[in-house]
Chains A and B, each alone.
Chain A
Amino acid sequence: MKAKNNSDNKGMSLIVKTVTRIFVGLILLYGIYIVLHGHVSPGGGFAGGFIIALSYILFMLAFGKEEILKRIPERMISILESLGVIMFLVIALLGFSGGYFFYNWLPKGMPFKLLSAGTIPISNVALALLEVSLGLFGIFLVLVLLKFAPKKDLEKDEE
């Protein structure tokens, strides 16, 4: 209720907001599906991570900047990015338990099942965290920097 009142004056019209509220969850779910099924079907961490980031961008375009900054602060994105890189490195380092760097140390299971292929699904998740944070960083760059541009334009005009 409170969020609805808050978002009425900012962002786009009511129709866009309602449709966005329905579709954001579906896009997010599709991204997670693509990440988790990266080793049995086309897709993987690269594409799925960007789809997850795009769902947040759709949210930002419909509801305005303040809403998304309230939900995902900048600090959380940098934590996500560091988590992705550290997860990837830890998976690689744990390979020393079997002999060498990047050894596939998990049991491999049956092909065509979701839980198969050893470390590949976990690496996909780590990569997806990296991609999500990269996409959100790109958008935040545009979002934060453009707030200060009109002031400069005005100064130029006055000069």
Chain B
Amino acid sequence: MLTYFLCLILFCVGLYAIVRKRNIIKIIIGIIICEYAVNLFLALFAYKMNGRSPIYSPRQEIVNMVDPLPQALALTSIVIGLATTALLVGIAIRIYEKYGTFDITKINRLKG
């Protein structure tokens, strides 16, 4: 329970950065932290007490494996996170080239 709650706090830290910060790079960092929290939650949910990795060994029988399904889902999620980050950074650099700043409020002012 405490572990899940710490994971929720990590998500809230990322959400605070997304909502409150004005620098675009800081917002991207907040999105990255949110992705960490979600992947971590999937891996936490799969954990079984005193479990083993879901990989068979040729020498011994392995019982009491952890849940492999959320791990498979988190694996795709991590890779998609990188693709999203690359796209966001590209758009941020474009914005910097056009407006000369990373501040989102100044971008609004220059547009009007």
Contacts and interface: CB of A to CB of B under 8 A. Distances in A.
Interface residues of B, number: 18
Interface string A36-63: 0000011010100010000000000000
Contact of B55 (A41, A131, A141): A41
A77 to B, nearest CB: 13
- Decide if the interface of chain A is mainly helix, strand, loop or mixed: helix
Contact of B86 (A141, A148, A149): A141
Given A41-B55, A42-B53, A141-B90, A148 B79 contact: no
A15 B82 CA distance: 32
A29 interface: no
Interface stretch (B15-23, B32-40, B92-100, B104-112): B92-100
Interface size on A, as a range, is: 20 to 34
B97 A149 contact: yes
A29 B93 CA distance: 34
Contacts of A112: 56, 58
30 contacts: A41-B55, A42-B53, A44-B75, A46-B75, A46-B78, A46-B79, A50-B82, A111-B56, A111-B58, A112-B58, A134-B83, A134-B86, A135-B82, A137-B86, A138-B82, A138-B86, A141-B86, A141-B89, A142-B89, A145-B90, A145-B93, A145-B94, A145-B97, A146-B93, A148-B97, A149-B93, A149-B96, A152-B97, A152-B100, A153-B100
Closest 6 CB pairs of A and B: A138-B86, A112-B58, A141-B90, A145-B93, A156-B100, A152-B97
